[in-house]
Structure 1
Amino acid sequence: MSKKKYIVTIDRQFGSLGRPIAMRMSEKLGVEFYDRDIVEEAAKKLNLPVSKIDEIEESAKKKVHSNSFRRMMYPLGTQADDLQDKLFEAQENIIKFLAERESCIIVGRCSDFILADETNLLRIYIYAPYEERVKNCVNDLKMDETDARKMIRAVDEARDHYHMHYAGFLPNDQRFKEIMIDSSMLGTEGTADYLVDAVKMKFGLE
C-alpha cells in the first residue's frame, strides 16, 4: 500500500454502527483509529485522571438513566466552563499531533472541524434510519429497547450540542462532509468495504 499520508474523520449517529465500521476500516487499511483514547490522552495531558472527566459528565445538566453507555452522551461533559474548554484544547492538540504523525481514522470529537485545513482529508458521516438504530442498540449493544430509544435521543442531542458549540456547525452538515452514508444499506462489513474503496480511490492507494 502507498505510503501517502491521509486522514479520515468519521462522525456518526448513535446506533448507526459508526464505531465498528471505523474499526473494520482501520483493519482493512492498516492504519490506526482513535476514539475514546483521545479523551484519555487529553486527561493525561492536563494531569487529570479519566475519572475526573467522568465526574464532569456526572454533573452535566442533561441526564438519562445511568448505564454503561452514558459516557457516549458527553464527549467531554456538557458544562461550557473553563475546564471543558481546556479539555477541548488539549484534545485538539492531540488530534492535530496524531494527524501530523501518520495516516489514521479519527472518530468524532470535532475532528472534521479541527483538521479542516489538512490536505489529504476525507470527512465521512454515518447515519441510519431511526428504527434500524434502535435494532442495532438492542442486538449489538444489548440494550433494553426503551433505554435504547432514550439513549439515541440523548446522545444525538449531546453530540449535536457539543459539535455546534466548538465547530459552529452540526456533525451532519453536508457542506463539511465528502461522504454521507446510510449504514443499514450495506451493514457493518459492506459499509466498511465501500468506504475503504472510496479512501483508496481518493488518495490513490494501491
Structure 2
Amino acid sequence: MKIITVSREFGSGGREIGKRLADRLGVAYYDKEIISAIADKLKLDENYIENKLEQNFTINYPYTFRRSFSMAYDAPNQTAKLLLEQHKIIRSLAEKEDCVIVGRGADAVLCDKKPFNFFVYADMEAKIERCRSRAYQDENLSDHELERKIRQIDKVRAASYSIVSQYPWGDKHAYHLCINTTGIDIPAFIPYLAELVEFRQKG
C-alpha cells in the first residue's frame, strides 16, 4: 500500500504539493474530504467541525490516546470526540486505497502502516506572499496581520500534533523528507518528488 502524508506550515504550499503529487502518482487525495466524512458520520456542519479542530484547544488526554488511539476513551468534550472520529476515518481511508493525506497528524495516526512522511515549510516572507496571492479580493490584511495569522494557525497545528505524536510538530525525526518551498516552482518540482516516492517504494 502506498501511503504518503504531508504535514505543512500554513502558506508553505503543502496542500498544493499533496494534490499535485497525488495527481502525478494516480492515487487518491484527502484533505478537506476528511472533514466532509466526519460531517456525514456525525451529522454536523462542516464549518463547525473545522472550527472546532482548528481552535487552540487545551485538553488533557491520557497517554493511551497518543499510543493506541483507543475509541474506548470517553472524550471529555466535543473537540476530543471529533479528533477520535478523524483518526478512525484517516485509518479507514488508508486501508482502502493508495493515497496522499494532507495534515491532521496522519503520519502519527498511520505510523504502523509506515507511510512516506513529508513536512513542508518556507520562509515567512514566502508564506506571506503565497497567502496574499491566494487571498480573496476583499481580504486586505497587512503583512503584520498575515504573519500573525500564519503563526496562530501553525501554533494550533503544533498543539494538535502533540496529542498524537511523540515528536514536536516539524521535528525532522518525524518525517522522511522536509521540503523548503521558498523559491521553488512547485509544479516543476513535482515530477522529481514523484520519482523519489517511486524510488522509495521499490526499496
Shift of 1:203: 0.8
For residues 54 and 156 of structure 1, the distance between their equivalents in structure 2, rounded to whole angstroms, comes to 15
Cα distance in structure 1, aligned partners of 2:52 and 2:92: 25
Residues 37 and 77 of structure 1: is their aligned pair in 2 closer, same or farther, counting only changes over 3 Å? farther
Among 134, 138, 163, the alignment partner of 1:140 is 134
User: CA separation in 1, counterparts of 2:172 and 2:51?
Assistant: 34
Cα distance in 2 for partners of 1:126, 1:141 equals: 20
Q: Aligned to 1:78, which of 35, 54, 57?
A: 57
Question: What pairs up with 1:34-53 in 2 under 5 angstroms?
Answer: 34-53=30-49
Q: Distance in 2 between matches of 1:56 and 1:115?
A: 22
How far apart, in 2, do the equivalents of 1:166 and 1:176 lie? 12
Match of 2:161 among 135, 160, 163: 163
Which one of 83, 90, 94 corresponds to residue 89 of structure 2?
Answer: 94
Q: Hey, what's the Cα distance between the residues in 2 that align with 1:193 and 1:182?
A: 16
Q: Deviation at 1:50?
A: 2.0
Distance in 1 (CA, whole Å) between partners of 2:15 and 2:194 is: 14
- SS for the counterpart of 1:11 is strand
**CA gap 1:102/1:55 in 2 versus in 1, 3 angstroms:** closer
Aligned-pair identity in percent equals: 28
**8 Å contact kept, 1:124–1:179:** yes
* Aligned-pair Cα RMSD in Å: 2.1
Other-structure match for 2:178 = 180
Q: How many residues align?
A: 183
**Structure 2 CA distance for aligned equivalents of residues 198 and 133 of structure 1:** 25
* Separation of aligned partners in 1, 2:50 and 2:176: 33
Q: Tell me the residue number matched to 1:6.
A: 2
Q: Paired residue for 1:15?
A: 11
Match of 1:115 in 2: 110
The alpha carbon displacement at 1:40 in A equals 2.0
CA offset at residue 140 of structure 1?
Answer: 3.1
Residue 29 (structure 1) aligned with residue 8 (structure 2): no
Q: Given the two structures, how large is their TM-score scaled by the length of structure 2?
A: 0.81
Give TM-score, length-normalised by structure 1: 0.80
Cα offsets for 1:78-121 (capped at 9, x unmatched): 363521111111111111111111100000101010000104x2
Change (3 A) 1:55 1:134: closer
Most deviating of 46-55 and 104-113: 46-55
Kept after mapping to 2: 8 A contact 1:22/1:192: no
CA contact (8 A) 2:35 2:50 kept: no
For residues 49-71 of structure 1, what are the alpha-carbon distances to aligned partners after superposition, in whole Å with 9 as ceiling and x for unaligned?
Answer: 324325647xxxxxxxxxxxxxx
> In terms of mean alpha carbon deviation, does 193-202 or 172-181 score higher?
193-202
Distance 1:55 1:23, change over 3 A: closer
Rate the CA distance shift 1:162–1:183 in 2: closer, same or farther, 3 A. Answer: same
Gaps of 5+ in 1: 58-73
